Amino acid sequence: MWPAPEATAPVDATVPLPGSKSVTNRALLLAALADGPGEVRRALRSRDADLMVAALRSLGSELIPSDESVSGVDWHVVPGPVRGGASIDVGLAGTVMRFVPPMAALADGEVAFDGDPHARKRPMGPLLSALRTLGAEVVGDALPFTIRGPLSGGEVTLDASASSQLVSGLLLAAARFDKGVTVRHNGPPVPSMPHIEMTVRMLRSAGVRVDDGERDVWRVEPGPIAARDLTVEPDLSNAAPFLAAAMVTGGTVTIPGWPQETTQPGDALRELLPRMGATVTRVPEGLRLTGGGRVDGIDADLHDVGELTPVIAALAALAGSPSTLRGVAHLRGHETDRLAALATEINRLGGDVSETGDGLVIRPRPLRAGVFHSYADHRMATAGAVIGLTVPGVQVEDIATTAKTLPEFARMWALMLGEAR
């Protein structure tokens, strides 16, 4: 149990954030598939990133760290032929469970995958069926499963409405398939499209030809993936709880190094948080948010930026008017069923949250002390921390689960509050 610190004054802090999980894990995998040694700088060090590093090493690449500090690590990556015989632990990392199997299908031996208990429930079926269609032998439709390549590539249709990562995973390794790949989505809209855009842009930056001109169709041409020297952007989704702290305390938080242009969904905070009453400006130091002393409810479709939902829901629970969050049915397949978890935990503290088919309706009520469970979900834990800023006596269970993407969270939170004025 972590007694969530209450804010005694408006926060006034600059919060440097480590690298993006999504960029780090794509960059490492592309470096391991590249045509020569490359560098991934200021990479995130966290459970999900460590699992990716271990997976790539067990498939035959060398990853050598240098310049390691709390803000990240520089990796020198020496790609090797993709080899079978490995057993890969994906933990609870969507980026490992969906991005590594298509790469493993390049090996001509068997590769076994398993993960945390809840990882076995996360959607994998459409990706594993796609790998079968493309020529791999796959045993299993969810974790645990085994893959035996090599596959040849070609055309495949899948329903990616459960997760954009099902598409990203296929695209990331596809230039190394003999025939490349054409992926067609057929089903309800794909969530988290900015993450597919991130995949496409990172492939193009590595010299891979990608055609995404037709809606829901992606074509990756076979060819080399160029070795690169890449610096990872700060994780903008992990900016959410810190920016939220400025909102609920009527303070100011500055995030250094906010990119001018990015495919990270966290960039949508610049638009969403002003709709909830914040003032957001770009300053020479980075992105600055100032809270107005009160939080407004919001009606928002978060389909493209689902990973922001837990912190937005926490803010909504502390707002002065009701909120409706829509378009996020796929959050039921995230680290936990996030819609059920948010409703249960906010209601446990005296809130009034109901689940809809694709989101949440949140009617603010005065909240009281109690335990906020995190369900092994880093973003549930940070949502609990936000609520605890203004509700005395909130205890967040398993704050250590923030290590999935931000191992230093509790220390950074204390540091931010220490800078309160």
Ligand X SMILES: O=C(O)C1=C[C@@H](OP(=O)(O)O)[C@@H](O)[C@H](O)C1
In this chain, which of 101, 306, 310, 364 binds ligand X, going by CB under 6 A?
306
> Which of 110-118, 188-196, 386-394, 395-403 is the region at the interface with ligand X (rule: CB under 6 A)?
188-196
Tell me the C-alpha distance between 313 and 11, whole Å. Answer: 20
Residues 134, 379, 382, 416: which binds ligand PEP (CB under 6 A)? 379
User: Does the annotation flag 179 for ligand binding?
Assistant: no
H or E element that contains 28: helix 21-32
> Phi and psi for 239 in degrees, rounded to 5?
-70, -25
Active site residue: 197, 233, 307, 335, which one? 307
Nearer to ligand PEP, 94 or 180 (CB): 94
Which option in ligand PEP, ligand X, none does residue 238 bind, with CB closer than 5 to 8 A by kind?
none
Burial class (CB in 10 A: 0-12, 13-18, 19+), 305: buried
The residues in 144-183 that bind ligand X, with binding defined as CB under 6 A, are: 163-165, 168
Is 221 annotated in the active site? no
The answer to whether the annotation marks 275 as part of a ligand binding site is no
Give the integer Cα–Cα distance in Å for 387 and 349. Answer: 10
What's the Cα-to-Cα distance from 63 to each of 58, 79, 384, rounded to whole Å?
11, 8, 35
Q: What is the smallest separation between the CB atom of 124 and ligand X, expressed in angstroms?
A: 11
* Residue 42, token pair as written in the block: 């200021």
- 334 labelled binding-site residue: yes
| Cα 96 versus chain centre, distance | 11
Report the distance separating Cα 87 and Cα 64, nearest Å. 21
Q: How far is the CB of 160 from ligand X (least distance, A)?
A: 8
Angle subtended at Cα 234 by Cα 232 and Cα 240, rounded to the nearest 5 degrees: 150
Instruction: Report the nearest approach of ligand PEP to the CB of residue 279 (Å).
Output: 26
**Residues in the annotated binding site:** 21-22, 26, 94, 122, 163-165, 192, 307, 334, 338, 379, 404
Binding site for ligand X (CB under 6 A): 22, 94-95, 163-165, 168, 191-192, 195, 306-307, 330
List residues with catalytic annotation. 307
Binding site for ligand PEP (CB under 6 A): 93-95, 307, 334-335, 379, 405
